Amino acid sequence: MAALRQKKRFALDANILYDLAADLDAAQTLREVLQERGATLEVPPTVFQELAYAVRRGTGEEAELALVALQRMQSWQIIPFNLVPVGHGITEEFCQKIIRKGYLPAAEENDGLILAETALAGIPVLISRDGHLLGIDAQILASELQASDLSIVHVVHPRTILASLKP
């Protein structure tokens, strides 16, 4: 019997959704190429909350782009996901752990939550342009995630994904 192929899952950071809302070619190409290859694109709860907060409290372009992202998420076939209530406690604990150890600055708590939510959901790749997330050493991150009984997540810049998909 042939093995079933599991769909590749990717989580998106808020900066990617802002790029999509701004209709940047690279972001649209990334979305289209991944989806053409059968990937699902998903949004962690904290990213969704960041967008909603920007719509309510943001100003100017940020608020406009956040609103466009929220309005178009369904047509882009990007799926927000949530966690069971206990999952929020697990993600908060992991976030505080990596801040305490100095892998993220305290001001970047949302980045830690996004990373932990992605791991708890079992999504292997988080696409982000965020320097704080990209700056965490991959081996250290994998070790910390495993020590917390979370799935390993690779934080990848969208250019790296696009480059790996070129023929």
CATH of the domain at 97: 3.40.50.1010
- Average pLDDT of the segment spanning 75-101: 91
Residues contacting residue 37 through CB under 8 Å, at least 6 positions apart: 8, 165
Q: How many domains does the chain have?
A: 1
* 56 domain residue, yes or no: yes
* 165 domain residue, yes or no: no
Please state the φ and ψ torsions of residue 18, each to the nearest 5 degrees.
-65, -40
- Residue-range definition of the domain harbouring residue 52: 9-160
Confidence grade of residue 5 (pLDDT, cut at 50, 70, 90): very low
Long-range pairs, 26-30, Cβ under 8 A, ≥24: 26/158, 26/159, 26/162, 27/158, 29/162, 30/127, 30/158, 30/161, 30/162
* 3 domain residue, yes or no: no
- Whether 83 and 45 have beta carbons less than 8 Å apart is answered as yes
Q: What is the pLDDT of residues 29-60, one digit of tens each?
A: 999 999 999 999 999 999 999 999 999 998 89
